[in-house]
Structure 1
């Protein structure tokens, strides 16, 4: 026979499931599109990179330089 603690646990689990579903939906909507061309050097960004790193704005070379703190010369 279920008691009040069982009902409370079921309610909490339901709320957690709802929150996780809402978070997943929001994350999917917030994913931005990758640029086709690098914002630093204007070279095309390979499709594999755009798919692997959604929202990327730089090619791999420029991103590496950026992470090292080196400014790319156009």
Structure 2
């Protein structure tokens, strides 16, 4: 069922695009390379199990949790917004 000028499946396409953007953002934020033995922030030792589980890890669990809590982003897909179509 089409809504206005939108074609069939336009809503699902927008949802899929938003999910793909979130996945791409998460992949770009993943560490890579050689893991550090000590945290960049607090110099605490990073356990070997964490270093093996996450290649390229640079922060201990506590510092990573704090950084994740501070990270905010909009999950609104601007490509499909009416405002962007009207400009």
Under a length normalisation based on structure 2, what TM-score does the superposition of the two structures give?
0.44
CA distance in 2, matches of 1:38, 1:46: 10
Report the Cα offset of residue 41 of structure 1: 0.4
Q: Which residue of 1 aligns with 2:47?
A: 46
Greater fraction helix: 1
Q: Which residue of 1 aligns with 2:63?
A: 62
Which structure 2 segments of 5+ residues have no match?
A: 1-31, 72-87
Kindly report the root-mean-square deviation, in angstroms, between the aligned alpha carbons of the 2 structures: 1.5
Which structure 1 segments of 5+ residues have no match?
A: 1-30
**Count of matched residue positions in the alignment of Structure 1 and Structure 2:** 40
Q: How does 1:1-74 map to 2 (within 5 A)?
A: 31-69=32-70
| Runs of 4+, deviation exceeding 4 Å | none
CA distance in 1, matches of 2:40, 2:70: 16
Under a length normalisation based on structure 1, what TM-score does the superposition of the two structures give?
0.51
CA distance in 1, matches of 2:60, 2:41: 8
Q: Rg larger in 1 or in 2?
A: 1
Note the alpha carbon deviations across 1:9-54, whole angstroms, 9 max, x for none.
xxxxxxxxxxxxxxxxxxxxxx500000000100000000000000
